[in-house]
A = this chain, B = another copy of it.
Amino acid sequence: MRKNIVIIGAVAAGPKAACRLMRLRPDWDVTMVDQDSLISYGGCGIPYYVSGDVSDASELRATSFHVVRDERFFEGSKGVKTLTRTRALAIDRKAKTVRVENLDSGEQRDLPYDQLLLATGAKPFDLPIAGADLDGVFSIANLHKAIEIKKRIAQGKVSKAVVIGGGAIGIEMAEALTDLWGVETVLLELAPQLLPRIVDRHFADMLKKHLVEKSVPVYTEESATELLDNGEGRVCGVKTTQRSLEADLVIMAVGVRPRSELAREAGLDVTSFGGIKVNQRMQTSDPNIYAAGDCVALINMLTGKETLAPLGSLANREGRVVADNMAGYPSRFTGVLGSFIMKAFERCIAATGLTYEAARAEGFDADYALTSPPDRAHFFPDQAVVILQLVFDRTSRRVLGLQAFGMMNDSISARVDTAAALIAKGGTIEDFGLVEMAYAPPFSSAIDSINAAAYVAENMCDNRLRRVDLNRFLAWVKDMGIEPEWAVLDLRHPLESKPYVEKFGSDKWFGLEYGQVRARHHELPPGKTWIIVCNAGTRSYEIQVFLDHLGKSDSMVLCGGTNVISRLDVDWLVN
């Protein structure tokens, strides 16, 4: 039975659903409408277009085979009727029609549907501060804005920029402006850390340090209060809670809000945070109306709660599920973990599942294994340390998340993607210990970093490994009075430990090289609670076991070791 399908929104979920539908039901009528003239673009590529990595905006709208995905493409190649510059005004669920308006002619008409897809996306949140409407203030709302930003930079009109918002887009834009264009760029984030809720604090701090090293000052816990006018209606600066910053370009990247007005006005269920409610088949509360993409609320697989996950990758998958169900092939979108990855200058940061902080807040018996293994065989030339943190539930031994920070290459993808696959399948610490990562020295260690992290988690669950809380340790180094009985047992090579012993005194920072401990442990001064420190934490664990065996069972391991500490903004490091 031939059906009439209307799709509102033509960026990611909409076109994916439309094209899949035409492959499943080539004789159906599929009409896609969008208020914009530019459609079906890779929005996630905008920072790379602004930076110049992608030279022309049309590349973000092109197929792999260099054909621009415009109305003619969808009509001619895909058989999808495509109306751009056409805004959906209202849905009449009884009549099963959508009222649309041609934004050029003003003409209105009703499109009848048997099944409707809302793929209305999200809109950037605009900070309600004075000057937000000045010339030179941009949000990354669509491709037009990106084109305008790049034009201004290329014309030499931008020498100083402020990016408001330390999420992925803000950081990517800061890199784009700085790295290729040499624009002096400052990054502001209201929260105490970059990438809030995506990574734990210490991961955000490692990223922050790298940004600062790459000449992007980062001000956290600081908000913009006013955007300043140069007297001619152009932005010339940003006032914050702490300071005044010059700027001829301001990027607002403070998050997005689902575009769910149409759905709400049509009486469909919408969450309190604006996401359109859908079931696993991506149906809204009206079974003839589906929704997909940035406008929907998805279920987090670990918490079971509704969440927003505005990502092009998910939008595409959701769109495909919609098409399958519309066409009569039952298909489910089973939920989201929040897999995340980004490039930041010469580093990569990624996560999947829950952060430690989020897992605790959700009531899990959460703990984390923080490790700092090499990203490939430690004897292989271009190996580098990666910081890896496995979050797990001590009671159920289920893995809840993985975070990683390392060099800019794909090695972190391998670990985070593998973790996402296992977590979605209910993977336990033991599953992570056994997962069969492909091994050769140019790609991994014989004991893969993900296996090794699971081993650490297992040792923690089995109470063989006691870790010191990282923040408590950092606080103690600044004020050793807070834990008067603590002292560091530094297992590193004397060349590494000696400067610290000299700095803090051997009463507080005792150096005894790993290989000497079995022979010389009697030299350890008595009465100390040892915080055992080495480069990666692995040798520290071994010495903890040894001290336990001797009956000194109150030591704690600095997990991840100095590899973690040296990546944080810590002022007591001795170079």
Contacts and interface: CB of A to CB of B under 8 A. Distances in A.
Contacts of A63: 378
A424 interface: yes
Nearest to A420: B436
A381 B54 contact: yes
B44 A440 contact: yes
Contacts of A416: 438
Interface string A451-478: 1000100000010100000000000000
A340 B444 CA distance: 11
A312 B439 CA distance: 8
Contacts of A64: 374, 378, 535-536
Contact of A42 (B24, B437, B441, B514): B441
Interface in A55-75: 59-60, 62-65, 67, 73
B313 A439 contact: yes
B444 A413 contact: yes
A79 interface: yes
A16 B54 CA distance: 48
Contact of A493 (B65, B311, B536, B545): B65
A162 to B, nearest CB: 23
A89 interface: no
A532 to B, nearest CB: 14
Contacts of A427: 421, 425
Interface stretch (A215-223, A241-249, A253-261, A331-339): A331-339
A286 to B, nearest CB: 25
Given A434-B334, A464-B23, A515-B73, A341 B443 contact: yes
Given A316-B446, A420-B435, A536-B64, A26 B339 contact: no
A519 interface: yes
Nearest to A19: B542
Interface residues of A, number: 109
B343 A26 contact: no
Nearest to A419: B421
A411 interface: yes
Contacts of A339: 436-439
A398 to B, nearest CB: 14
B320 A442 contact: no
A515 B379 contact: no
Contacts of A455: 320
A409 interface: yes
A317 B447 contact: yes
Nearest to A445: B313
A299 to B, nearest CB: 13
Contact of A417 (B350, B414, B515, B536): B414
A232 B59 CA distance: 65
Contact of A333 (B421, B434, B446): B434
Contact of A12 (B67, B435, B446): B446
- Chain copies in the assembled complex: 2
Interface in A134-182: 168
A125 interface: no
Interface in A1-55: 12, 16, 19, 22-24, 26-27, 42, 44-45, 48, 53-54
Nearest to A58: B379
A442 B76 contact: no
A26 B547 CA distance: 10
A378 B76 CA distance: 22
Nearest to A536: B64
Query: Which 7 pairs, one residue from A and one from B, show the smallest C-beta to C-beta distance?
Result: A410-B410, A313-B439, A341-B438, A26-B549, A413-B414, A339-B438, A414-B414
Given A316-B446, A413-B444, 8 more contacts: A12-B446, A23-B541, A42-B446, A44-B440, A313-B436, A333-B434, A413-B413, A424-B434
Interface of A: 12, 16, 19, 22-24, 26-27, 42, 44-45, 48, 53-54, 59-60, 62-65, 67, 73, 76-79, 168, 311-317, 320, 329, 333-334, 336-337, 339-343, 348, 350-352, 374, 377-381, 408-411, 413-418, 420-422, 424-425, 427, 431, 433-444, 446-448, 451, 455, 462, 464, 492-493, 514-519, 534-536, 539, 541-542, 545-546, 548-549
17 contacts: A22-B545, A42-B379, A45-B380, A48-B379, A65-B514, A65-B534, A76-B515, A312-B439, A313-B447, A317-B433, A317-B451, A320-B455, A339-B438, A410-B414, A414-B417, A417-B417, A418-B420
